[in-house]
Every structure is written in C-alpha cells, then in structure tokens.
Copies of this chain bind each other. A is one copy, B any other.
C-alpha cells in the first residue's frame, strides 16, 4: 500500500498525542492504547507505522521517544519550514498570526496583498505587495503557500504562486482550482464543510 494523505494526517496526530504523553512522563505505549486514545483501530496504528517503516518491540510496545524522533525525521521537523500567505484579508491575517505554527516548526515568513493600505514590510510577519512575490519566494526559499484571496482572483493568484516557484498551495477560496504542473493544491472550503455537516445532521434527524 502506498503512503496516502490520510495516513500522513494520522501520523501527524499520533505525533501530537505522543508529545503530550511525553510531557506527562509516559515513555512506552502499545498500539492498542494509542488507537483507543485517537479513536482508531490498533490494526490501523500498526499498519500506518509499517507504512512509514516505524518499528516497535514485540511484547514491549513502542518507545515514545523513538517514535517521536522517527516522525520528526519523516516530517523533516528539524528545519523550519517556510510558508508564505497570499491575500492578507480576514483569513490571511488570522493565519499569519496563528500561534499553532511554531510548535510544528512552521514559519510564516511573508504575506502578500494588492491593497497598499495593508503593505507593512516591517511587521512581525512582513506584508509585501503581490508584485514582490517572486523575489521574496526566491529569497526565503518558501516552498509552500497559503491562498486566501477572493474567489474571483483565486485561479490567477494560484498561477502567480506556481510561477514564483511555490511547490504546494493550501487554498481557502471556495473554488476548485485547475491544476498547474509542478504546483500541487489542497483546498479547504469552509462553507462546503458547513454545508456537508448540515446535510449530515439533517439526514440523521430524518432517521432517528
């Protein structure tokens, strides 16, 4: 089986739980315990680990320290990973200043907008004009970009990001972007998720 996105996401959550357990002084864990804590099956935990070549000890479970080290290695958590944000509106600025990133060694190194009133190259997170995207991406070596612009300019902004050398985009505009070679996209649509949740709730109501 190939490593897929969902397995990567689970690995990320395993890691975060393990870090919390480590803080509590726990040093070893069984796949069973880990599974229970995260609401998955123990088969899945072992399968995921095997996918990433993470080894435990028969009978003795897993050493949390070793697990965390291996995961840091897999995710390259030793080097800070740089991210730029395109679109400094409500969502963009909220993410630029989100304090959950540094724990994961993710660094928002710059944001971009076309509104002159928002440009602030000397802020905690510098905000530049979109025209400077290519230069800044070149200088910082950022590989990943967050796209948080209005729907109607999303495709064009994505093109500019791909052009600037960004290799992966996390898109928050509520539109499916047509892919550009060399720059992969993952999209998140809040209204779509809410809609989907509402549908699920409605359906459940009909049954129960």
A residues sitting closer than 8 Å to B (CB atoms) are 3, 5, 8-9, 12-13, 16-17, 38-39, 74-76, 81, 83, 90-91, 93-95, 97-98, 100-101, 103-104, 106, 143-144, 146, 151, 167-170, 174-176, 178-179, 184, 186, 188-205
Contacts and interface: CB of A to CB of B under 8 A. Distances in A.
A30 B165 CA distance: 36
A76 B202 contact: yes
**Copies of the polypeptide in the assembly:** 2
Contact of A200 (B168, B193, B203, B204): B168
A194 B83 contact: yes
A12 to B, nearest CB: 5
A144 B83 CA distance: 32
Nearest to A7: B196
A74 B195 CA distance: 11
Contact of A196 (B76, B95, B186, B190): B186
A200 B91 contact: no
A149 to B, nearest CB: 12
Contact of A104 (B75, B90, B195, B203): B195
Given A94-B90, A198-B143, A198-B168, A100 B186 contact: no
Contact of A194 (B39, B103, B167, B170): B170
B186 A193 contact: yes
B168 A95 contact: no
8 contacts: A8-B196, A9-B196, A75-B199, A81-B194, A100-B191, A144-B198, A168-B201, A186-B196
B167 A100 contact: no
B16 A196 contact: no
Contacts of A74: 199
B170 A184 contact: no
